[in-house]
Amino acid sequence: MAKEATDRTTIDLFANERRRGRPRTNPLPREQQLKVNKRNQIQRDKAKGLKRIELKVSQELYDALNREALESNISRSQLIELLLLKQIDC
């Protein structure tokens, strides 16, 4: 029987090493945790009907967007969406 890295039920059966101290709260290595979290985030976004857009901006614009979002008490993503909606008059 092969060891499945994402198996959370029988992880102790195949433990490679035992260490003293506080047990890990997540049995997966950090790299696999990030992959699982990213996959879950993509699924949540799809369920909400969200689409991904990537763009590169200058450091000055990035800082300005962060400041404006902080002052408006919204996320940077929400601020960019509002600015785009204003621009195309939706």
Q: Is the pLDDT of residue 11 over 60?
A: no
Q: How confident is the model at residue 2 (pLDDT cuts 50, 70, 90)?
A: low
Write down the pLDDT at residue 89: 83
At 82, the amino acid letter reads L
| pLDDT tens digit sequence for 27-78 | 888 999 999 999 999 999 999 999 988 999 999 999 999 999 999 999 999 9
Closest-CA residue to 80 (of 58, 59, 55, 60)? 55
The model's pTM is: 0.57
Q: Cα(53)–Cα(9) distance, rounded to whole angstroms? A: 37
Q: Cα(48)–Cα(38) distance, rounded to whole angstroms? A: 15
Phi-psi region of 89 (alpha: psi -120 to 50; beta: other; left: phi over 0): left
